[in-house]
Structure 1
Amino acid sequence: MNGPEQEAAGVKPAPRTDPAHALDLEQPFTEGDLYTLRAAVTAHAHAGNIPARTIDSLLLIVGELASNVVQHGGGTGHLRLRRTDNNLICQVSDHGPGIADPELIGLVPVPPTAPGGRGLWIVRQLSTDVSIRCDSTGTTVTVTMPVHLIPGPH
């Protein structure tokens, strides 16, 4: 039996696994969930047939953004990850106080002697687009990166 014959007989065909949809992920997280978040992103990226080098970059991005949520954004965040035809879209939101200069943060590397402040610079280096929105409800960082290409420094 094929599709129409199965439906006429009341048999539902097995769902098709589309690698792009296998990548769709929404997950809340806190500090105690960072390992689970990383494992979920890895599993979904593998299911979405994302190349290993791209997964490595994606995990760095997710790690930096999630760490920022824990350290600066109120400790509770939400990750959304999806794939378009050629890109991965990773969005991390929190309910923290926001970022003073969201358009400028991470554009210039911090001095080597600085104790921190490299996270968003790293995120910008590994992506093709970073959008940071801050308002009274918190901060949302949306990162776009190509599925098959690893971008170089900007």
Structure 2
Amino acid sequence: MNDRGEQSSPPGLVSEVGPIVVSAPFTIDELARTRLLVFEAARLAGLAEARGQELVLAVNELVVNVVRHGGGTGTLTTHVGREGLTVEVADTGPGLPETLPSTLPDPGQTSGRGLWLVRTLFPGTRWTSTPRGLTVRVFEPRA
């Protein structure tokens, strides 16, 4: 509460009528924390619980990819704005190939399902890949 008895935003956050941005670095030890941050951002953005859980699943795949293939550390940024929720996952790994398979990998393959899952659940997903790293942005409009 502020000195006038009004509810105030936590430090670093903007009021509920403005954007709420949270950015946090992560390693393998913070995977659970990244899921909680995304779940809370989905709640703040007004996403239905089921859609919020799908977002948590998709972002979990992205952060696990960072840990396994993208240099081991990354940054998770959530942006709750008037239009919806943007979640960005960035790393400093080698990036992605220019083309990615558009179909589900063969059941015998040991990898390749994470990005397929993210793109299936959130078809508007965008990424920027360079030799210095990968940034993936997932957007979900407000309901």
Separation in structure 1 between the aligned mates of residue 42 and residue 88 of structure 2, nearest angstrom: 15
1:45-84 aligned at under 5 Å gives the runs 45-84=42-81
**TM-score scaled by structure 1?**
0.76
Match 2:85 to one of 80, 84, 88: 88
The answer on 1:145 being equivalent to 2:140 is yes
Amino acid in the other structure paired with 1:110: P
Matched with 1:37 is: 34
User: Cα offset for 1:114?
Assistant: 1.4
User: Cα offset for 1:13?
Assistant: 6.8
SS at match of 2:47: coil
Separation in structure 2 between the aligned mates of residue 77 and residue 125 of structure 1, nearest angstrom: 23
**TM-score scaled by structure 2?**
0.81
Count of matched residue pairs: 135
SS at match of 2:125: strand
The answer on 1:99 being equivalent to 2:96 is yes
Q: Which moved more, 1:136-145 or 1:115-124?
A: 136-145
The answer on 1:18 being equivalent to 2:27 is no
Uncovered stretches (5+) of structure 2, i.e. residues with no partner? 10-14
Provide, for residues 116-154 of structure 1, a one-character-per-residue CA deviation record: whole Å limited to 9, x for no partner.
201111101111312221223211111223333xxxxxx
Q: 1:80 to 1:106 in 2, by over 3 A?
A: farther
Q: Percent identity, aligned pairs only? A: 31
SS at match of 1:64: helix
SS at match of 1:143: strand
The answer on 1:109 being equivalent to 2:104 is yes
SS at match of 1:129: coil
